[in-house]
Amino acid sequence: MARRIFVTGDTHFGHVEAISLFARPVPLGDVAAMDEFLLERINRRVGKRDRLIHIGDFTGPMPWKGDEGRASMEYARGLRAKIACAKVELILGNHDPSPKRAREIFDDARRMMSWRGWSGGDERIICCHYPLRTWQGVFNGAMHLYGHMHGAFEPVGRSLDVGVDCWDYGPVPLDDVLAILAAIPSPRREECLPRRQPMRKVTQPSASI
């Protein structure tokens, strides 16, 4: 069976407040139950030979420096070890460690991912933890996958929140997401006004003597 690619994000492992904040279906205060629930969702959908792109906030807010930071790293490593798929890549979110530290846990870690071409077409795909209003190739069919908002933002154009709180608490096949976006028309350049913000005057400082 050919290797598949899945996307997910905003798991917030270890973040007890996430249970109530995002209405997760586990007992309030039971962060261990939430972690196991999300891990089961990942391993049920993603095969051992598959590739998983996690779009940020693998854990919730944690310290990443000093003795506490070492404990956080071990916690995150333990979670990664329980994910059965061969390759997990992280698009860094606001709660994740530095790229250097994240690469000690994941197969790759970066701020943004961009590539061209997928099984159903050749449009560019832009992955970023944060929702963008515009992105490279937006007028040429490019698609944008994001997280961070846990479903609270209305999508703009060919963009979609791929966090767990939008997809029944687990990963979704990349091809399924891109097929949804491919059915949405790209914005047309001529539909955009030349300028939406007013021209502002700049106060010229007095020249020094």
For residue 30, is it within any domain? yes
Phi, psi (deg, nearest 5) at residue 53: -100, 115
Cα 108 to chain centroid distance, Å, stands at 14
Q: Tell me, what CATH number does 68's domain have?
A: 3.60.21.10
Count the domains in the chain: 1
Q: Quick check: pTM over 0.85?
A: yes
For residue 86, is it within any domain? yes
Domain, as residue range, for 151? 5-191
For residue 5, give the 3-state DSSP assignment.
strand
Sheet strands side by side (includes 143-146): 112-118, 121-128, 143-146, 159-161
For residue 198, is it within any domain? no
Q: How confident is the model at residue 80 (pLDDT cuts 50, 70, 90)?
A: very high
For residue 196, is it within any domain? no
For residue 11, is it within any domain? yes
For residue 101, is it within any domain? yes
For residue 58, is it within any domain? yes
For residue 203, is it within any domain? no
Q: Quick: pLDDT tens for 120-172.
A: 788 999 999 999 999 999 999 999 999 999 999 999 999 999 999 999 999 99
